[in-house]
Amino acid sequence: MAERQDLAGKHIVLGLSGGVACYKAAELTRSLVKAGATVQVVMTEAAEAFITAVTMQALSNRPVYTSQWDARPGNNMAHINLTRERPQGRAAPSPPPEGDQEPWGGPAVPEGADAVLIAPASADFIAKLVQGRADDLLSLLCLARPAERVPLLVAPAMNREMWAHPATQRNVAQLRADGALVLGPAAGDQACGEIGDGRMLEADELRDELIASFQPKLLAGKKLLITAGPTFEAIDPVRGITNHSSGKMGFAIARAAQEAGAEVTLIAGPVHLPTPPHVRRIDVQSAQQMFDAVLPQAPLHDVFVATAAVADWRPAVMNEHKIKKDGKKLAPSFELTENPDILAAVASLPDKPWCVGFAAESQDLLTHAREKLLRKNVPLIVGNLGPATFGRDDNTLVLVDAAGHRELPAGDKLALARQLVAEIARRTAGV
């Protein structure tokens, strides 16, 4: 599948302060460029001790700036120009419709950087930002950037003791209070040989956090409960009844909802997918376990999205031991019993959330989706052809409600998830 272009049209100033995590900045630059962004690298003198400007220029395909005395700009004001000017040939994103706001609160602007990302941000550089010090090019441009339209994102990277120090924690708290978005840090092995908090996030994590920062916060203040993946109904200790659902659509919706500002709880069947950032995840196996996890949570949420492909039936009795061949070539038989209907149960609660159901069908999609809409008594059913989408990264969806149906253009699952989230936001506005 082609590389996603979630940062197409975006111009990012990437600042590197001193730290061994500068090696991750090389992969981050590559990742941002692949996602469609132009990247202007600015390095402190300390950063140059860890990685060369030549490397960063090769990866960004742009000259790297390292000094406030750089004479290349005609006005000799790199600290001003770097956040005001957009690279030649790179168009600014289209302005939003009248009345809409950019994710960071201001109207779209015709030129300039779209964000400043400091990765890595050392303890010393964070202190500079908080104190308003401006004794090098990178701290200068952070101080001089038009803060109302050029957000500052900071990815800390330092030893665990430095991160835990009260001075650092005070500085980070003040940095957030001043409007910066702090990304991480993560916990794990550190270059010094110690283990703990202070690792800079990985390149793909930082890329996704940057992408998320640009998404409109359409669900800010909302709580979403989402189910995803298949269920597994045990026949014996090693066998069971399941289906081909990969969970990718549900996980994409969880990511898109979190990007849109929602607080998200994801209840997942047995899948091998990483948890989307900042999403609370509960793992289950069977339909009954999913039911038991969903029902207490549902009244605490504003929206319930039932994406999971829940098995309709389960064995009435699970065999204690593996069912063995008996040599008579007779297939074993066992009685099935119906699983609880999770979506219908949530939709019948007195304090129910706004419900979205999914219908994965093999034929007559619209007919079955509309029947499900009426049977479950929910406002929206999202239909797709299961055999055509299970395990794939793309999908085709149709939205079915009491008024009719509408198809969403075929696309990758994250793009469709963002469209669905926008639809949910529109339909639940004021609810």
Q: Give 148-177 pLDDT, tens digit per residue.
A: 999 999 999 999 999 999 999 999 999 999
User: Where do we find the tokens 């950063």?
Assistant: 47
CATH of the domain at 183: 3.40.50.1950
Same-domain status, 266 and 398? yes
Same-domain status, 183 and 247? no
Same-domain status, 184 and 294? no
Residue ending a domain, choose from 214, 236, 261: 214
Residue ending a domain, choose from 214, 232, 266: 214
Whether 4 is in a domain gets the answer no
Same-domain status, 256 and 205? no
- Of all residues in the chain, what percent are helix, strand and coil, respectively (each to 5)? 35, 25, 45
**Model confidence band, residue 104 (pLDDT cutoffs 50, 70, 90):** very low
Same-domain status, 205 and 242? no
* Residue with the larger pLDDT of the pair 203 and 325: 203
As a whole number, mean pLDDT of residues 231-257 equals: 91
Whether 119 is in a domain gets the answer yes
Same-domain status, 239 and 383? yes
Query: Tell me: the pLDDT tens digits for 250-290?
Result: 999 999 999 999 999 999 999 999 999 999 999 999 999 99
Same-domain status, 53 and 188? yes
What range defines the domain where residue 243 resides? Answer: 223-428
Q: How far apart are CA 200 and CA 204, in angstroms?
A: 11
Binding residues for CTP: 312, 322, 340-343, 358, 372, 376
Positions annotated as catalytic residues are 192
pLDDT, residue 11, reads 96
Whether 182 is in a domain gets the answer yes
pLDDT, residue 125, reads 97
pLDDT, residue 227, reads 97
CATH of the domain at 258: 3.40.50.10300
Residue ending a domain, choose from 214, 240, 264: 214
Whether 337 is in a domain gets the answer yes
Going by their DSSP bridges, the two strands 303-306 and 223-228 should be labelled as parallel
Same-domain status, 373 and 264? yes
Same-domain status, 264 and 343? yes
DSSP conformational letter for 65: B
Whether 3 is in a domain gets the answer no
Whether 140 is in a domain gets the answer yes
Same-domain status, 421 and 342? yes
Same-domain status, 157 and 235? no
Same-domain status, 386 and 270? yes
Count: domains in the chain: 2
Q: Give pairs for 45-51: CB < 8 Å, separation 24+.
A: 45/18, 45/136, 46/17, 46/18, 46/19, 46/122, 46/124, 47/16, 47/17, 47/18, 47/19, 47/22, 49/18, 50/18, 50/19, 50/20, 50/22, 50/23, 51/16, 51/22, 51/23, 51/25, 51/26
Average pLDDT value for the chain: 88
pLDDT, residue 344, reads 94
Binding residues: 312, 322, 340-343, 358, 372, 376
